[in-house]
Structure 1
Amino acid sequence: MAEMHVELVAVEREIWSGPAASIVARTTEGDIGILPGHAPLLAQLKEGFGAKIIHPDGTETGVAVHGGFLSVTKTKVSILAEDAQLADEIDINAARAAYDVARRHETSVESADLLRARAQLMAVGQQV
């Protein structure tokens, strides 16, 4: 199976780096799948949605991405986020509670707290 090198970087830290078979993310233009050999691309990630790293062995890692860009070059894919968390770093109960509170108290469906909690829940495979 073909692989590509992926780097997931937030403002304050490198989150993950390694080989992947594919990446799925939501940009401001819609959902996108990246496979090895993809054409060069720079896209803005949509706030409040997760991304998925599919590893060469077929396992998946969910990622909560909070703003940023997806960059594809000949040699690598970079997810450059303002902040991001891997699914195993997310406290599901805390994310669900934050989502519920934001839904009850926020007047905008695009509030930062609501978007952050939604991305976290999507990264761990929870329905929102």
Structure 2
Amino acid sequence: MATFKFELVSPESILFSGEVNSVIVPAVEGEMTVLAGHAPVVATLKPGILVLIKTDNSNGKEFFVSGGIVEINPTGMTILAEQARFIEDVDTAVLDQEILTAETRLAAAPEDESEQRRLHDQLVQLKEFRNVFEERRAN
């Protein structure tokens, strides 16, 4: 299977940079799988799990992203995440803090209706993801 260059960047560090076979992205428009040769796209991320597969025999690496943007172009794919962590570093306390931060941002949001809607949607998505995360950990 063909590979492509992928980078996952958070404000703190580059969490991954290298060749991958595929990446599953939690985009606002819907989850999408990116393979080598994907059409150019710029999309917004929603809170969720990003999965990358490095080789055909690999189980993949999982990361929690709380938002950001993804750019896919002919040379590869880059994700600029608002927050990103290895999934092993995520628990309900981390998600509760993300929810509290989102609630604070929404409460302090300017009168701009589109910004309030974006922050509200992000808060709803975080709460939904927390529920899914708890169910996943229980299984």
| TMscore range, shorter length | 0.7 to 0.9
- Structure 2 contact 70–80 (Cα < 8 Å) conserved: yes
The TM-score normalised by the length of structure 2 is 0.67
Instruction: Give the number of the structure whose residues are more often helix, by fraction.
Output: 2
| TM-superposed deviation, 1:58 | 2.6
| TM-superposed deviation, 1:82 | 0.9
Whole-angstrom distance in 2 between the partners of 1:11 and 1:25? 18
Q: Partner residue of 1:55?
A: 54
| TM-superposed deviation, 1:120 | 9.7
Taking only the aligned residue pairs, the percentage that are identical comes to 28
Q: Partner residue of 1:2?
A: 2
Higher relative contact order (CA 8 A, sep 6+): 1
Q: AA paired with 1:126?
A: R
How many pairs are equivalent? 116
Whole-angstrom distance in 1 between the partners of 2:54 and 2:81? 20
- Structure 2 contact 92–130 (Cα < 8 Å) conserved: no
Q: AA paired with 1:41?
A: V
- Structure 1 contact 54–60 (Cα < 8 Å) conserved: yes
Structure 2 segments unaligned to the other structure (5+ residues) = 101-119
Structure 1 segments of 4+ aligned residues over 3 angstroms from their partners: 92-96, 108-112, 114-117, 119-122, 125-128
Structure 1 segments unaligned to the other structure (5+ residues) = 103-107
Change (3 A) 1:14 1:60: same
Change (3 A) 1:19 1:120: farther
| Aligned-partner SS, 1:31 | strand
1:75 equivalent to 2:75? Answer yes
Instruction: Give the number of the structure whose residues are more often strand, by fraction.
Output: 1
- Structure 1 contact 49–65 (Cα < 8 Å) conserved: yes
| Aligned-partner SS, 1:126 | helix
Q: Which has the larger radius of gyration?
A: 2
| Aligned-partner SS, 1:39 | coil
| TM-superposed deviation, 1:41 | 0.7
